[in-house]
Structure 1
Amino acid sequence: MNLKKIHSIYFKHLAVFAGLVLLFASCSNTKNLAPGQNLFVGSKEKIKSTDKIPSNKRKELESELSSLVRPEPNSTILGARFKLTVFNMFKEPKKPKGLIYWLKYKVGEPPVLASNSALEKNRLVLQSHLENAGFFRDSVVMDTSVKNKKLSVTYTALVDTQYRINNVSYPNDSSILSKNIRQYATGKKYVLLKPNNPYSLDVIKDERTRIDARLKDKGFYYFNPDYLLAKADSTIGNHKVDIDLRIKPETPSNARLPYYINNVYVFADYDINADTARRRGKLFEGYRIIDPNHKYNPKIFSRTLVFKPGELYNRTDHNLSLNRLITLGIYKFVKVRFEPARDSVQKLNAFYYLTPTNTKSIRFEVSGLTKSNNATGGEFSTNWRHRNLFKGAELLTIAANFGFQTQISSGYDVNTLSYGLEANLFVPRIIAPFRLNTSSAYVPQTKFGASYKFYNRTTQYTLRSIGASYGYVWKNNIKNEHEFTLININAVKPANFTDSFKALIDTNLTVRRSVEKQFIFGSIYNYNYNSQAQANTKKNNFYFNGNVDASGNLLGLLTGADVKKGDKKKIFGQEFTQYLKLEGDFRHYLRLGKYSSFNTRLDAGVAIAYGNDTLVPFIKEFFGGGVSDLRGFRARTLVGAYYAGNPRDSLVWDQPGDVKLLLSAEYRAKLFSIFRYALFADAGNVWTLKYDAERPGSKFSSNNFMRQIAVDAGIGLRADVSILIVRLDVAFPLHLPYNLPNGEKYKIDFGDSEWRKNNIVWNLAIGYPF
């Protein structure tokens, strides 16, 4: 019997087994139900209308009704209620602990039983929702169906024409409150209640909230939306409604008047257990600063707080001040209280209670690693922070690390030692001779950085790297962040080449480039947009990170560097690099359920050397493969159609490229408890822009690059313990990009142990791949 026939029989038996499992799961769901009990398996919502409703509006309304039905039926995986099956597999444990209890109640879930009272309550909820949406005097009918002790229900909404707004009236007296309401509720593009719009109770509530927010920005501190009453008159005919928005008579007098800021007190070193509230403090630029131990420079608060004594109370400024105080990073608790001034009418005193976080902190980390290229080792690192270095909320971070690796592969025995020191200083303001367009909601930062790194491959070479940077970090809003590194300097100097390594770099350009001298002097701009930075329940969320990295441009212009003409320039006795690198990373997150989503990613970039260089520096190039890239290929081993060898059998050096294209798609869903699973596929590659004789097939070509796209697929298991996500992905190639016969490029043979050894890649990582 040949291998194909064996595989055919194997998969047939597997299919039969899977079918039996599904059948067992289906039958076992109801066998433990008592007489008269039925398993609730779901509902269907329909709209029947005497008036024509557009199909998209009909689907939207049916979806709204569906979301209101409770309870939700038992969850399914591929149509089978596996969790319910697990629950039914075990008897009730004697104690609420142990393995049986965990399997029954954590992995499994109890049956969701149908209840007549719950079904009737759903019907009333759906009918109420329709009335609130302008479908007055309509009804919802319920029809249940029971088969094999499984109950499903259909709710049919019998609706007439939806009522629409005819006219909206507002308070018309001469009070200052009524004048402000009329100002913000008429003739404005942000008004929500507009003639001919569908009637909606939710929209009325939103309009009350919107008017209240505008009033809060005009000093009406004590006003709230409940003081507005909306009366709807649906008796005017022709499915029209008049809405009369008025101020409730019982609205208190303080809610009818605007208030001004009287005094602002800042308890800069507040301790709830200490008697700091009675101290008078120091007056600085209009603020009363209570800081008995002089921990903070008073300028912090005049720069950070938006409220000024004598100004009209403004809720936007209120929130801005709180947000800016929090983003300083020196306080763990920020609270503000307003109370009426005793000796002034229509004035408020503001009290800010600021509880400092620990000024100094230190963190130690120890890690071990094993890589697919047969490297094993570990790293020790420490990170020290000072959050108020010069008493102005400056943040100083100093990080030190020491690591080692041992790599044995095909006769190579390489030991690597490394250590480094990095310091960064963040100053909470822009220090520059020019202005940056920053949002007043967030405190911008000026960043200074310096670093030193030492890298020693004991049998090959040593590398020393010195870096320095100066730039700015700022936000326009919570979703957008900019980082502009105005000056970025990095010098890399190799030394101590062994004779064997000299022989290697004489014959291998890629290895030679990885240890070249480098002097980078340039600027970097990074823009990040993340719609999930603010918690939301939107179905679609987006992420974008764009990066522009340029080096040597000004130096090249000033010196007239042109390597093509043999005119390569130096600065401080060192040849400088000149390149432009562009990269964009775009992601889309499609929410399918509470724990399920379909996520896609497009990452593309190009790096171009010119002027004083013919090649982009090795550390600035792109690499393909790895735990967050093409997961079915070894890390940093892909470049075009070039085959560098199997990393399991030989030492494969990192393969850099100038062009990158990566597409990934991943479906994520809950398995049980804290565990999630994922199905994914990746496609892409990196290429060089110039011909490389040592790596044939690596050059990008518009005619051939599609045939050189590497494709993989796999499955993942993730443990989400809230503070971190541990990820295990297993993947294999669907299409090899190498210069191989087509039969080899698409070969998939799980029955072949050699194929599994060379192609199945396990990836263990922290966090999602994107």
Structure 2
Amino acid sequence: MVKLIGFLCVLLLLAGACNTVKHLKEGEYLYGGAVVAVKETPNGQSAKKLVAELEYLLNPQPNKKMFGMFRTKLWAYYLGQRHKRGIRGFIGRRFGQPPVLYNPAIPQNNRTQLENYLFNKGYFEANVQYDSTRKNKVIDLTYQLIPNRQYHYNSVVYQTDTGKLGQIIAKSNSESLLKPGNPYNTEQLQAEQNRISRLLHQQGYFDFTPADITFKADTAQQSGTINLFVNPQMQNNGLPFAPYHINNIFVYPEYSALYAATSDADTVVYDNYHFITSQKVVRPAALANKMLLQQGDLYSQKKFEYTLNHLLQIDLFKFVDIKFKKAQPDSAHLLNAYVYLTPDAQRELQVEAEANTVEGYLGSVFNMTYRNRNWFKGAEAFTFNLGTGIETPFGQTFIHTFEINGQAKVQVPKLIVPFRMGKISKYYIPVTNLSVGYSFARRLQQYSIGLANFNFGYDWRAQKSVQHIFNPAFLNFVQLITADSAFLAQLDENPQQKRSFTNQLIFGSNYTYIYSNPPPEGKYRNYLYFKSNVELTGNLAYLLFKTTDNSSSSPHELLGVPFAQYLRLDADLRRFNYLGSRNKQILVTRLVSGIGIPYGNSAVLPYVKQFFTGGSNDLRAFRLRSLGPGVSQAFDTGTNAGNFDRTGDIKLSANIEYRFSLNTYIKGALFADAGNVWLFKGDEDSKFRWNSFYKQFGVGSGVGLRLDLVFFVIRLDWAFPLRTPTQGWVIQKAQPFAKDWRRDNIVWNLAIGYPF
């Protein structure tokens, strides 16, 4: 009966959506939209592609239809107009769309738009006509297109003189965007103007603009072809353009709109830069090292952009602006540069929180970060992070899991190395990192473990899309502080797990490679993100012991503590596919893999280096570290002793998430996650095997809401398991209306930022 009532309600809604034109006034007609039909397919051109390009230009867009038939948004609008309050008023305001009325100017405006577009694509003889049809107070338009032939370049001639400017252009002809045989294209002509202008800006021609390149097209000699002539122009005064050099450079490190009223500023000259400063909050040397503009150099657009980017990257300033003014007399062809820097807050405090629920547990994470952007007045950034996390059963007052960690980090905006590094992009500032930290974790009736860490390394870019992070030296000290007797008894039954909980020194090197090619702001094209890590530890110490110590004792110790020796590799590949033209729908897929191989002085990976899955950024239908290894049966949940984290030597996981826009700031998501971890050595249930690993994935699915303010994202994900490694598929057991099932299976994840 309930299903029948629901079906009838849907029918009534669709019936009402079919009869929205009854609300139109006398003389008003609803605009039903337009289509483009190509009567004659142009030679060598795809009519389908051409039609798609042209239909995208048509305006206005008609009222949206459901299933291509029902104007439900228009129906909702009229519903809200009749009922301003209550649920019907809300439906009208939230989902309604005002009627798009027909205007007699629409067909001619679109016709002009289509003809102009075709002309700019080389269809000089195109003909566009239109017809209209009226039915039930709805007017539809059809544009009949005869494109005729498309003109192509027969020849492209650069008419340059023998002067320096002409020589620069002539040498770059091989890079020209205009090639014989290419179709005429206005956008391509503009792109060529910009290319030549930018080329000359790198050679000091400050005054030269794209408009100083003109084109002459001759179509008279051969049917359907163009002889194109490219002409650089002279200045308005009839003189040729001349290159400019940099004269004086004035830097204002404390610039603001009220700066002109400040009378106590001093001028400090450092390395030919003139610093006009009163507070001296940053050392002149720190800024001078970040500027590629130098006195006496030719003006260069690239050096200007690099300097601008460097000053923004050191994160000291809210706004950076560089202006050039001609020094007098202009016949000297000199430029004075003025660098205006508006300081940002030197110190900031940031707070983040996350929460999730699963299997009767409530988990929460709190992070606080203090940042000083200019610690030693040399643009060194100091960051201190303090984080805590707790996990407690529902309805209980005791805390099952408690974690706290702190880390202090210093970033110096240069590479501190005694040797020359490889290829480094001049567009980005390389960074030297130094950090120390400590973390403590306590599991009720299980153990307390501490981790002290030190890290020294470098972060740089070889190019815009490639980032390198190399840490030649890192040190971790893992200490099992306390262990309850029940937990120790559990470890005695699992020697593999027991060895991973011993006190250990971990020291070595690691390297991270990141590739990412996201589209520019406002552009929406598919792109990839790839991150890979490799970590090696203990090899030098092990070699030293082997060459100096003939004893067979194992493992070897430093300062009375065994040191770890392993190779650890992991990779994260993501693909972002835009399904719409305006960033409203994105399909994101991710593959994650990892493997850790202990050898030499280690029989197992240290606990802190093992892989795990689950949590708000991984398998969202499962609690953090609650899956695996393999199909190992769940530990005894009747006592806390059996509930220690599940980790492994190998990890495989995959995610797929469909993201869509509900409005400007609210986004929705549908997602599915799968994955697990395995051991190299262990019992048959936990070991990785090629013929069975794919049968041991945990799988979950869910929906999400995101408040996306661009600079800040709050995410709420609701997920539930479809399959567990130990029980197989459990979707058939789902009882979403049963309280007990929801309590044991539904996972709520509240977090900051997107999961990936």
Q: Distance in 2 between matches of 1:60 and 1:412?
A: 65
Does 1:684 find its partner at 2:684? Answer: no
Task: Give the 3 Å change call, closer, same or farther, for CA 286–151 of structure 1 in structure 2.
Answer: same
Out of 182, 205, 212, which is 1:197 matched to? 182
Equivalent pairs, count: 747
CA-CA distance at 1:235 after TM superposition: 2.4
Out of 145, 162, 170, which is 2:158 matched to? 170
Stretch deviating more after TM superposition (121-130 or 671-680): 671-680
**1:436-485 CA distance string (max 9 Å, x none):** 23211111110000012233446443322211100011123443322212
Report SS of the residue matched to 1:602.
strand
Aligned to 2:257: 272
Out of 103, 108, 113, which is 1:125 matched to? 113
| Correspondence 1:706-745 to 2 at 5 A | 706-738=694-726
Task: Give the 3 Å change call, closer, same or farther, for CA 314–673 of structure 1 in structure 2.
Answer: closer
| Sequence identity (%) | 34
Q: Distance in 2 between matches of 1:731 and 1:647?
A: 22
CA-CA distance at 1:124 after TM superposition: 1.5
Aligned to 1:641: 631
TM value normalised by structure 1: 0.88
Task: Give the 3 Å change call, closer, same or farther, for CA 30–416 of structure 1 in structure 2.
Answer: same
Aligned to 2:406: 421
Tell me the C-alpha RMSD between the 2 structures: 3.4
AA partner of residue 339 (structure 2): Y
AA partner of residue 40 (structure 1): Y
| Correspondence 1:443-592 to 2 at 5 A | 443-457=429-443, 459-507=445-493, 512=498, 515-532=501-518, 534-560=520-546, 567-592=554-579
Aligned to 2:56: 67
**1:260-305 CA distance string (max 9 Å, x none):** 1111122233343234699672332222233344333232233211
CA-CA distance at 1:429 after TM superposition: 0.7
Aligned to 2:218: 233
AA partner of residue 645 (structure 2): D
Does 1:104 find its partner at 2:92? Answer: yes
Q: Distance in 1 between matches of 2:326 and 2:663?
A: 53
Q: Distance in 2 between matches of 1:21 and 1:505?
A: 65
Q: Distance in 2 between matches of 1:100 and 1:16?
A: 20
AA partner of residue 622 (structure 2): F
The answer to whether the 8 A contact 1:710-1:737 is kept is yes
Report SS of the residue matched to 2:323.
strand
Task: Give the 3 Å change call, closer, same or farther, for CA 372–50 of structure 1 in structure 2.
Answer: closer
Stretch deviating more after TM superposition (576-585 or 492-501): 492-501
Does 1:89 find its partner at 2:76? Answer: no
Q: Distance in 2 between matches of 1:41 and 1:641?
A: 58
Aligned to 2:645: 654
AA partner of residue 668 (structure 2): Y
Task: Give the 3 Å change call, closer, same or farther, for CA 38–713 of structure 1 in structure 2.
Answer: farther
CA-CA distance at 1:428 after TM superposition: 0.9
Task: Give the 3 Å change call, closer, same or farther, for CA 229–614 of structure 1 in structure 2.
Answer: same
Task: Give the 3 Å change call, closer, same or farther, for CA 767–400 of structure 1 in structure 2.
Answer: closer
Q: Distance in 1 between matches of 2:458 and 2:709?
A: 34
The answer to whether the 8 A contact 1:478-1:534 is kept is no
The answer to whether the 8 A contact 2:355-2:750 is kept is no
Task: Give the 3 Å change call, closer, same or farther, for CA 613–43 of structure 1 in structure 2.
Answer: farther
Q: Distance in 2 between matches of 1:545 and 1:500?
A: 40
| Correspondence 1:277-356 to 2 at 5 A | 281-343=267-329, 345-356=332-343
The answer to whether the 8 A contact 1:443-1:474 is kept is yes
Out of 611, 627, 645, which is 1:622 matched to? 611
CA-CA distance at 1:320 after TM superposition: 0.6
CA-CA distance at 1:130 after TM superposition: 0.7
Aligned to 2:242: 257
The answer to whether the 8 A contact 1:123-1:140 is kept is yes
CA-CA distance at 1:346 after TM superposition: 0.8
Does 1:671 find its partner at 2:662? Answer: yes
Task: Give the 3 Å change call, closer, same or farther, for CA 649–750 of structure 1 in structure 2.
Answer: farther
Task: Give the 3 Å change call, closer, same or farther, for CA 239–749 of structure 1 in structure 2.
Answer: same
Task: Give the 3 Å change call, closer, same or farther, for CA 383–670 of structure 1 in structure 2.
Answer: closer
The answer to whether the 8 A contact 2:359-2:744 is kept is no
Q: Distance in 2 between matches of 1:76 and 1:565?
A: 79
CA-CA distance at 1:515 after TM superposition: 4.1
Task: Give the 3 Å change call, closer, same or farther, for CA 546–359 of structure 1 in structure 2.
Answer: same
Task: Give the 3 Å change call, closer, same or farther, for CA 147–538 of structure 1 in structure 2.
Answer: same
Task: Give the 3 Å change call, closer, same or farther, for CA 705–25 of structure 1 in structure 2.
Answer: farther
Report SS of the residue matched to 1:118.
helix
Task: Give the 3 Å change call, closer, same or farther, for CA 221–358 of structure 1 in structure 2.
Answer: same
AA partner of residue 63 (structure 1): A
CA-CA distance at 1:658 after TM superposition: 1.9
The list of structure 1 runs, each at least 4 consecutive aligned residues, that deviate by more than 6 angstroms after superposition, is 97-102, 645-651
Task: Give the 3 Å change call, closer, same or farther, for CA 461–712 of structure 1 in structure 2.
Answer: closer
The answer to whether the 8 A contact 2:477-2:506 is kept is yes
AA partner of residue 706 (structure 2): R
The answer to whether the 8 A contact 2:152-2:182 is kept is yes
Tell me: higher relative CO, structure 1 or 2? Use CA pairs within 8 A at least 6 residues apart: 2
Q: Distance in 1 between matches of 2:637 and 2:131?
A: 63
Q: Distance in 2 between matches of 1:616 and 1:391?
A: 42
Stretch deviating more after TM superposition (139-148 or 612-621): 139-148
Q: Distance in 2 between matches of 1:45 and 1:560?
A: 79
Aligned to 2:592: 603
Report SS of the residue matched to 2:194.
helix
Q: Distance in 1 between matches of 2:121 and 2:317?
A: 45
CA-CA distance at 1:648 after TM superposition: 11
The answer to whether the 8 A contact 2:347-2:370 is kept is yes
Q: Distance in 1 between matches of 2:149 and 2:664?
A: 46
Does 1:30 find its partner at 2:44? Answer: no
CA-CA distance at 1:764 after TM superposition: 3.0
CA-CA distance at 1:77 after TM superposition: 5.8
The answer to whether the 8 A contact 1:665-1:681 is kept is yes
Stretch deviating more after TM superposition (727-736 or 745-754): 745-754
The answer to whether the 8 A contact 2:362-2:394 is kept is no
Report SS of the residue matched to 1:304.
coil
Task: Give the 3 Å change call, closer, same or farther, for CA 664–73 of structure 1 in structure 2.
Answer: farther
The answer to whether the 8 A contact 2:425-2:464 is kept is no
Report SS of the residue matched to 1:729.
strand
The answer to whether the 8 A contact 1:336-1:351 is kept is yes
CA-CA distance at 1:353 after TM superposition: 1.6
Does 1:136 find its partner at 2:124? Answer: yes
AA partner of residue 339 (structure 1): K
Q: Distance in 2 between matches of 1:17 and 1:629?
A: 41
Report SS of the residue matched to 1:197.
coil
Stretch deviating more after TM superposition (547-556 or 378-387): 378-387
Stretch deviating more after TM superposition (125-134 or 504-513): 504-513
Q: Distance in 1 between matches of 2:666 and 2:103?
A: 31
Report SS of the residue matched to 2:178.
coil
**1:108-166 CA distance string (max 9 Å, x none):** 22222333312321122111111110111111222334444444433332122211001
